[in-house]
Structure 1
Amino acid sequence: MPPSVDSAAAPPRGHRVRQTIAQLRERILGGEWAVGGRIPTEPQLVAALGVGRNTVREAVRALVHAGVLECRQGSGTYVVSTDELAPVVARRLTADRMAEVVEVRRAFEVEAARLAALRRTAEDLAALDGALAAREAAWRDGRFDEFVAADAALHTAVVAAAHNGMLAELYASVGTALHSTIAQSMGGALEPERYADHSRLVEAIRAGDADRAAIEAGAFLEPTPGA
């Protein structure tokens, strides 16, 4: 029996695979399939997406290769990341490359602080104040792990206040590296000589002083002598 639809009208295979990858990624980013959760089985995906088994298989394989999905023998396929860059960065994060990570952070954070001073909203300032307060409280109480998390949250809030979506996405991809460099810079303990006052950075952003905000952001990320 001839096909009901002219085969010439069907999109090429590569196009169907790319569309399927985009659909899978959209469901992951939208939270339908959470990190740590299992995605539907191959037959279920075929039915839900309206494409063939081979197309689904290739799309899933591409996202596995990208580090977004993980196939577990006898169990299924699971979401392990919402960000394709994060696994790549994590694989490259080694102790001997921490100096490079700091340089990348500096490139992101200095520009983010400058933009944040120009674009911050009342909501951004409230988020910065909250993150700063949490950071200071963790320091006062000597809670190392909470301090590292709060410090990372403050830097992330500065990037968010820049209102540059691409910058925020790229910065999110270095999340693991961010925590590692903060923890390393603290030497594993909250010692007074390692304290860095971030209130001046927040105040520069509040004042709309882009140059001062950039200077304050860069001051925390000066290269280590001899590194």
Structure 2
Amino acid sequence: MPLDRAGLGTQVTELFRSRITDGTWPVGSKIPTEPELVEWSGAGRNTVREAISSLVQAGILRREQGRGTFVVSTSDLRSSVSRRVAATSRRDSLELRLALDAASARIAATRRTEADAERLVTLLRERNAAWTGHDLHERVRADSALHRAVVEATHNPLLGDVYEGLLEVFEEVQLHDVAGETDDLAQLHADLVDAIVAGDPERAADVMAALLQPMINGI
């Protein structure tokens, strides 16, 4: 695409960023090589390098020696929040999660669509199934998928970005919480989904608090 000479570096940076946010370069993927980007963007090699460096510094891209440059996040907000929370204590992380999850549950109960409700019910079943095996990472994945779906049911993209930036940290904190032989939180998760599907925001927030507050109290 043609680019104006003024502010060229900013334009190229935003051009690359748009490929990340629209999913052309998804998280985890390797972006095109520098010569390919030069040819595609019509910008000079130095401008392309500056644009990539800007996105690396923002935490959106990561260079790996001998392998290339990979997408690690879709937004500056998501990556900066993730880095900040990774340096905090378990208590701080859980308290932040409680604040976000309770607010998300309350909003989701008022905004969820029928498709959201069906997805929550499906993910609840998948979460229950994960506890029939002994793979802790699969349990965390299934639990995170359900909580992420609650956030997505708010239809608030900013809230979604913040939550995604925190999710990896939340999952690390959670690993030892899913190690039991039985799922002691199964009924509360069922109650959570029921409250959101029923459109009861206060009950949804209360159930989320009942899920997370005991973990904080136990520290």
TMscore range, shorter length: 0.7 to 0.9
Asked whether the 8 Å contact 2:95–2:216 carries over to 1, the reply is: no
Describe the shift of the 1:192–1:204 C-alpha distance in structure 2 as closer, same or farther (beyond 3 A): closer
**Corresponding pairs, count:** 214
- Return 5+ residue gaps in structure 1 as ranges: 1-9
1:153 correspondence with 2:180: no
Q: For residue 195 of structure 2, what is the amino acid of its counterpart?
A: A
Q: For residue 12 of structure 2, what is the amino acid of its counterpart?
A: T
Please list the CA deviations of residues 141-183 of structure 1 after superposition, one character each: whole Å capped at 9, or x if unmatched.
Answer: 4443322211111101111111111101111111211212322
Asked whether the 8 Å contact 1:117–1:207 carries over to 2, the reply is: yes
Q: For residue 202 of structure 1, what is the amino acid of its counterpart?
A: V
From 41, 47, 50, the counterpart of 1:58 = 50
Asked whether the 8 Å contact 2:63–2:70 carries over to 1, the reply is: yes
Question: What SS does the aligned partner of 1:33 have?
Answer: coil
Deviation for aligned residue 1:90: 4.7
Question: What SS does the aligned partner of 1:32 have?
Answer: coil
Give runs of aligned pairs for residues 50-199 of structure 1, distance below 5 A. Answer: 50-88=42-80, 89-90=82-83, 92-93=85-86, 97-186=89-178, 188-191=179-182, 197-199=188-190
Scaled by the length of structure 1, the TM-score of the pair is 0.82
Describe the shift of the 1:180–1:71 C-alpha distance in structure 2 as closer, same or farther (beyond 3 A): closer
Asked whether the 8 Å contact 1:116–1:158 carries over to 2, the reply is: yes
- Computed over aligned residues only, the root mean square deviation of the Cα atoms, in angstroms, reads 2.5
Q: Which residue of 1 aligns with 2:202?
A: 211
Scaled by the length of structure 2, the TM-score of the pair is 0.85
Asked whether the 8 Å contact 2:59–2:72 carries over to 1, the reply is: yes
From 4, 10, 19, the counterpart of 1:27 = 19
Please list the CA deviations of residues 32-72 of structure 1 after superposition, one character each: whole Å capped at 9, or x if unmatched.
Answer: 33444432233332222122322212111111112222233
Q: For residue 211 of structure 1, what is the amino acid of its counterpart?
A: E
Structure with greater Cα Rg: 1
